[in-house]
Amino acid sequence: MANRLSTAQRNTLADAYGDSLNSGSFKVYTGTQPTSADDTATGTLLVTFTLPADAMSAAASGACSLSAAVNGTAVAAGTAGWGRFLKTDGTTVVNDVAVSESGGGGEAIISNATIAVDDALQLTSYTWTQPAS
């Protein structure tokens, strides 16, 4: 028999995930995502997005999404490869994701993946889905 979660439980877990990002941050780096979110960040830090106090929407069907686009300014030049979500303390890692422009296949979508210093950027889309099994 397979282990399966109810939609209500998936919503509870997705909401808890979303709450962990409230007033946190999302850092975008060049290069390849580390093997584990527990590993030290690799690549060049390109931009840090500060997430709002209510970072993610309320969960529905086991998924929550970024509640609004978030602005940031690039501190280095390069091509976005991956990003790391951090809790409000700025050091506790929540998870790592692939980053791209719209249509590029990333889990987190930013306005431009080819970045120059001082570029105004937006984190435009991100959805977390709690698996049913």
Strand, coil or helix: 15: helix
Counting Cα atoms < 13 Å in the Cβ hemisphere of 107 gives 16
At residue 2, the pLDDT reads: 82
**Considering its fold, how many domains does the chain have in total?**
1
pTM of the model: 0.96
Domain contains 93:
yes
Residue 115 is classified by DSSP as E
Render pLDDT for 66-96 as a digit per residue (tens, 0 to 9).
999 999 999 999 999 999 999 999 999 999 9
Paired sense of beta strands 114-115 and 70-73, if any: unpaired
CB within 8 Å of 96: residues ≥ 6 apart: 33, 34, 37, 82, 83, 84, 85
Domain contains 103:
yes
Domain contains 49:
yes
Mean pLDDT of the chain: 97
Domain contains 1:
no
| pLDDT exceeds 80 at position 27 | yes
pLDDT band (50, 70, 90) for residue 36: very high
Domain contains 2:
no
| pLDDT exceeds 80 at position 1 | no
Domain residue limits at 16 = 7-53+61-129
